[in-house]
Amino acid sequence: MGKDRRPPLLTREGSWRPPAWVAAAVLALFATSLSAWICRRVFDGIPHITDGVAYSFQARIFASGRLFLSPPPVPEAFAVWNINMTESRWSCAHTPGWPALLSLGYLLHAPWLATPVLLGLAVIGVYALGRILYDDRTGLLGALLLAISPFALILGATFLSHVPALCVTVWTLAALALGRRTDRAGPLLLAGFLAGVAAAIRPYTAAALLCPAGIWLNWRAAPRVVLRRSVFVVAGAALPLLLFAGFNAVVWGHPLRTGYAVAIPSLDSTGSWDMFSLGFSRDHLPRSLIDLNRDLWAEPWPDLLPLLFLLPRKNRRPGDGLLLASALALVLAHSVFQHYVILHAGPRYFFEALGPLSLLVARGLIAGSALLREGLGRLRAPQALEVAVLVAFAGALLWFPLGRRLPVLMEINSRSYGGQTLEPLRRLGAENVGPDALILVSGNWADATYSAFSLLNDLDPTKGRRVYAIDYRLRRDELEAAYPRDEVWRLYVTIGPWPSDNRLDWQSFEIRRVVWTRVR
């Protein structure tokens, strides 16, 4: 390899170069603060999708120092989607990586801050990756694009695993790029460790997005170099993967058996491959490209249009292949998956591609602005006109995602999103519900509605004060005997779809009826 003429991450004196890092930190703080505010203002600081409820439940278990719980009496009354309940185990069906990170939020009594903080770290990670592959300008513009993406800001306000996966994979790519550039053990060990963490958070996503990076790391390297790099990466990944396998062995009985296989027994057989088919891609792939072009930033032009400026040979850079291959691999991998979901703000299965795509779009915008300046120069346009055009373009770049799309998404998500809401609790005081009460939740979609209340229970519901349970009328006597409380209330919640043709509105519901009835 030729001598690298790019400036190092550290100056010769060993101090950080402040201006660019400070700007990246400001962008990270902006994304974290705005996303945290949305979490409190729009989502009431609670998960609104049952996946988020399951992650939070497992995080509370980890924070208590345990790996799983014993099922409570009358277990059916505490059933929540994506939480497994066997004869001896009560634990989340999802992989343990994200709950382990989220447990730190519960230990600090601020779980709603966990995802926004990780979004801020992802913003800095995009800057670091852009600086290693290209330069400060590209890294900062990529970080800006991630920080203003409505898709990222809304998902950063949820309890889902996509933002943690984005954060860890972006930093994995940065460590791999630095390891390839310097051929040092430290970055390669870090890359392996982060890749293992990513696998414990979202295994399928991590494999799809990071496999091209593994190929890129060793591309055209000598066999001795390939072996050395691979050993360091595998050594770094050993600890998180062993912890992942150990959790599976203790909780689900086998190192390679996850909670998914317990929730869906067919995953233990060849029938699981029915969930993947090239036939799905005929529908999913065109939809994914359309949705990505209108949901990443919601600009008046297709969001990925700036990538066209990278087609001329003179505009290409070596790092483009890594980023493009990683993003495309994730899109292609999920396009053959059975499900295609628009959730919260866009196609969530493709969310982690936002890291590489932010840098590629930044590269395209830089190349496009250079072409624009060149064209204005040939027309001998005054410098003031050039500045005015660039300022107007920068204003549009910021206004459409933050000024137009984000308020719409906040309105959509502020309703009873996913059928879950704490609105009935706001009426709890007016109904004079006592502090020691058994509250039986029912309604036309009780399974989803109950999820919002399940996290209010003590990890051992028999020891909590108020107890929230699903109302099983035929087993009401058993519930009252197992959870004797001073009062018994029945909460009936009726919800209905929000009347809208907006494709982003499909998970929004309106609360049509809330009835508190005292049983005894």
Domain assignment of residue 378, yes or no: no
**How many structural domains is the chain composed of?**
2
Look at residue 451 in the predicted model and tell me its pLDDT: 87
Domain assignment of residue 223, yes or no: yes
Q: How far is CA 431 from the centre of its chain?
A: 38
Q: Which domain holds residue 424?
A: 417-518
Domain assignment of residue 479, yes or no: yes
Contacts of 227 (CB under 8 A, 6+ apart): none
8 Å CB contact between 81 and 419: no
Closest CA to 52 of 89, 105, 88: 105
Over residues 97-135, the pLDDT tens digits come to 999 999 999 999 999 999 999 999 999 999 999 999 999
8 Å CB contact between 445 and 497: no
Look at residue 9 in the predicted model and tell me its pLDDT: 43
Contacts of 497 (CB under 8 A, 6+ apart): 506, 508, 509, 510
**Which residue, 244, 274, 304, sits at the end of a domain?**
274
Domain assignment of residue 309, yes or no: no
Which residue has 């519900």 as its token pair?
Answer: 433
Q: How far is CA 301 from the centre of its chain?
A: 25
**Which residue, 274, 295, 326, sits at the end of a domain?**
274
Look at residue 384 in the predicted model and tell me its pLDDT: 84
Over residues 314-331, the pLDDT tens digits come to 999 999 999 999 999 999
Domain assignment of residue 349, yes or no: no
Which residue has 């051929």 as its token pair?
Answer: 183
Look at residue 489 in the predicted model and tell me its pLDDT: 94
Domain assignment of residue 483, yes or no: yes
- Angle between helical axes of 97-107 and 114-133 (0-180°, round to 10): 120
Using DSSP, state whether 338 is helix, strand or coil: coil
pLDDT < 70 stretches in the chain: 1-18, 266-273
Name the CA radius of gyration of the chain, rounded: 25
Domain assignment of residue 176, yes or no: yes
Measured CA to CA, the distance from residue 298 to residue 316 in angstroms comes to 26
How would you label 252-266 residue by residue, b for 16+ Cβ within 10 Å and e otherwise? beeeebbbbbbbeee
Look at residue 115 in the predicted model and tell me its pLDDT: 98
Return the number of other C-beta atoms located less than 10 Å from residue 112's C-beta.
20
Q: How far is CA 437 from CA 7, 380, 447, 489, 518, in A?
A: 64, 78, 20, 7, 10
Which residue has 């509105």 as its token pair?
Answer: 505
Percentage with pLDDT > 70 across the chain: 94
Torsion of CA 236, 240, 241, 242, to 10 degrees: 100
- Beta bridge partners, 92, equal 83
Domain assignment of residue 361, yes or no: no
Mean of the per-residue pLDDT values of the chain: 91
**Which residue, 274, 302, 336, sits at the end of a domain?**
274
